[in-house]
Amino acid sequence: MAGEKLQEGSDVGPPHPSGDLVHGFPLPAFPGRRHRGRAEEDPRPEVRFSALRWWVVRAGDEEGEALAAARAVAEPDPEVRRRVVHMLALGWPSGARTAAVLRDLALRDEDEETRAVAEDLLVLAVNPDG
């Protein structure tokens, strides 16, 4: 798959149901709800990313993956989105949600550099031995 462009309908995992990832997980059960607001709504990209890191670390493994996946899809700033994509791929490389989000971003992200990063990381997530 290295060097090949992803195509719609490829067999590298199912596309993620965006609505499920972005709107489908509950508020965290830990004291950190203000970080959710900052991660999603702060006007400063660097604050959104820092708040997300705080939020993901305290959320735990399964919820952390869901949070990172949701922000990888919903983050409006392409540079922050690429950082979140790296966080997702490095934190949960074998996660089904990770592969689905990476595949979707590689095929559909509006930013060319984000598409390329997602495609490169998808190859590693699907084939960790390179």
For the CA atoms of 16, 83, 78, 23, the dihedral, rounded to the nearest 10 degrees, stands at: 40
Q: Does the predicted model carry a pTM greater than 0.85?
A: no
Residue among 35, 22, 14, 16 at smallest CA distance from 75:
22
pLDDT at 81: 97
> What is the DSSP secondary structure assignment for residue 14, as one 8-state letter?
P
In this predicted model, what pLDDT tens digit does every residue of 30-83 receive, in sequence order? 445 566 778 888 999 999 999 999 989 888 888 999 999 999 999 999 999 999
How far is residue 71's CA from residue 1's CA, in Å, rounded to a whole number?
Answer: 26
Does the pLDDT of residue 102 top 70, yes or no?
yes
The domain spans of the chain are 18-126
- How far apart, in Å, are the Cα atoms of 81 and each of 11, 31, 38? 24, 25, 15
Tokens of 54: 């705080």
